[in-house]
Amino acid sequence: MPLADTLNRKPGDILKSDDWNVIIKEIDRLETAKINRDGADTLKGPLTIAEALNANSNVTIKGNLSIVVPQPQDPSGQILVLGPTNASNLRLGYHQDYSWIQSHGSKPLLINRLGNNIGIGSTINPIARLDIASATRTGTHPTAVKGLYITGDFNADNDGVEFRHSNATQGIGFGFNTIYAAGSAANQDLGLKPKGTGEVKVAGSLSVSGIVKAQTLTISGDLSVTGSVNFSLQTRQMLNLWSTNYGIGIQSSTQYFRSGANFAWYQGGSHNDAELNAGGGRSLMTLDSNGNLSVSGIVKAQTLTVSGDLSVTGSVSFGSQVRQMLNLWSTGYGIGIQNGTQYFRSDYNFAWYQGGSHNDAELNAGGGRSLMTLDRNGKLSVSGGIYAANSDIYFTKTDHDHTAIGNTSGYAAIENSVGYGALMILGRAGTPQGRCVKLWDYLQVNGQLEVNGQLEVKGNGNTFRISVEGNRVVFYLSNAVHGTNKQISWDGDNNWDQVS
């Protein structure tokens, strides 16, 4: 007879001996706190198990199962254990502040070992091995992602996915389009560090809004910087373009530009790999491999010092400053302006050469032609004629030794002699007549004509000569056509004598 039938008797019902046997048997079973019966048992009401519960077969629970253990609880306390307690097992537990799952026995904890995806958050159908959604997703998302997929309402540079040091001072975060430094420290570096000889590479354009500091910066693509690029205080080549032969750098007190061949400055156009090709733009300035500088426009400089060749196709303007403007080698050699005056300065000589090449010897035309020189003593030498159109020629009162010039073969002079009180024309020596000055055109003397020596006039085969011999004036007339020679003299006392 089932126990349920016995327990469901109504008042006044007859109890048989079988009923008492069932009741006594159930009481014995409950006293021993053991359930060891064949067949199914149904318990109604709360069931409290004071000691261990061992189930050697399947246990099916329809409804809620609540397991309550004393607080507090940790992974080594009173917990729910799946597996033998003396070997590797899975433990689950809870604490008043958290819940946990733990693998024991020094074994790893595997979740979805067979490859199913895991979703955390509001994700219904996870698309990655671990899919974390911290906010409801909108828009178009991929149908499958390998590894990890995280979404959320992240800001660009904060409130994103973060990895921090255990002291929370520094870390790295991922916003919706930014990798940023995270942590409580006010100022932090954000580093990208390769391993070994590896490089940090940017495949697309790199735009920097702040300062760029680099020991070595190699860029294979475009670099766009909206702020400053700072290479710190290192004294070395700083920015290499293609190779170390092309770059910009600094050395002691010097910023330099390095090129394997030429330098060029272009306006407009686009890139062209041909040498010194402006790519359709305008070549403003070039400095070729031989050190020749070419400027297409105006060169303006307060002080310009050039040790090599300077080639200018346009104008060179020094503004309106009233001062020496262009120094050659030192301030002792230059071209400049002062109030109302353009001047040429030299510590020694001035020279104007035609053709030839540079020669460092003093007053050496270098194989060319010396057109004009002005030596350190102020002597002007001109290889050709001197023309003064519509101009006067002035001579100062400086005294000269006219005999030194006039007696030197190949030289003649015009000088202002203080000793003789006259402007003197000194002929060159070595002519048949000795030192000689020849005037080929009409000579007009508006004043007294004084001749020291003989006065000789020639024309049409006739020669007329006047000379002073002793205390007499001798007149000589010769006619080569008729072969006649006449000579008379005058002594100053109205005495005329015909010599021949």
Q: What is the 3-state secondary structure (H, E, C) of 69-82?
A: CCCCCCCCCCCEEE
Query: Which pLDDT score, from 0 to 100, does residue 172 have?
Result: 96
Judge contact between 374 and 349, C-beta under 8 A: yes
Structure tokens at 26: 């159930």
Cis status of the peptide bond prior to 11, with omega within 30 of 0: no
Would you say residue 72 has pLDDT above 70? Answer: no
Calculate the dihedral angle through the C-alpha atoms of 31, 36, 41, 45, rounding to the nearest 10 degrees. 30
Shared domain check, 403 and 431: yes
Q: If you average pLDDT over every residue of the chain, what do you get?
A: 81
425 located within any domain: yes
Q: Is residue 272 part of a domain?
A: no
Q: Compare 73 and 197 and report the one with higher pLDDT.
A: 197
Q: Which is higher by pLDDT, 63 or 442?
A: 442
Query: Is the pLDDT confidence value at 464 over 80?
Result: yes
Q: Is residue 320 part of a domain?
A: no
Same-domain status, 453 and 485: yes
Q: Domain containing 212: what range?
A: 204-257
pLDDT in tens, 376-402: 988 888 998 888 888 888 777 666 655
Residue 275, domain member (yes or no): no
The whole-angstrom separation of Cα 350 and Cα 375 is: 6
Tell which of 212, 229, 257 closes a domain.
Answer: 257
- Got the DSSP string for 177-192? S-EEEESS-SS-----
pLDDT in tens, 446-462: 999 888 888 888 888 88
Q: How many domains does the chain have?
A: 3
Residues 397 and 433 grouped into a single domain: yes
The answer to whether residue 7 sits within a structural domain is: no
225 and 252 in a single domain? The answer is yes
On whether both 393 and 415 belong to a single domain, the answer is: yes
- Model confidence at 30, in pLDDT bands (50, 70, 90)? low
Co-location of 393 and 424 in the same domain: yes
Q: Flag whether 96 is in a domain.
A: no
Strand partners, 347: none
Judge whether 415 lies within some domain: yes
User: What is the tens place of the pLDDT at every residue in 287-334?
Assistant: 999 888 888 888 777 666 777 677 777 777 776 666 677 777 788 888
| Domain identity same for 453 and 496 | yes
253 shares a domain with 214: yes
Q: Tell the residue number behind the tokens 């004009």, with chain if given.
A: 372
pTM: 0.46
CA gap 352, 8 in Å, rounded:
143
- The answer on 500 and 453 residing in a single domain is yes
In which band, very low, low, confident or very high, does the pLDDT at 499 lie, cut at 50, 70 and 90?
low
H or E stretch at 238: strand 237-241
**pLDDT higher than 60, residue 34:** no
Output the pLDDT for position 418. 73
The last residue of a domain, from among 257, 276, 292: 257
pLDDT confidence band for 279 (50 / 70 / 90): very high
Assess whether 391 and 434 both reside in one domain: yes
pLDDT tier at 410, thresholds 50, 70, 90: low
Higher pLDDT, 497 or 82: 82
Determine the pLDDT at residue 40: 62
More confident site: 450 or 496: 450
Confidence (pLDDT) at 433 = 67
Cα–Cα distance for residue pair 466/476, rounded to 1 Å: 6
Last residue of a domain, one of 257, 285, 318: 257
The answer to whether residue 375 is domain-embedded is no
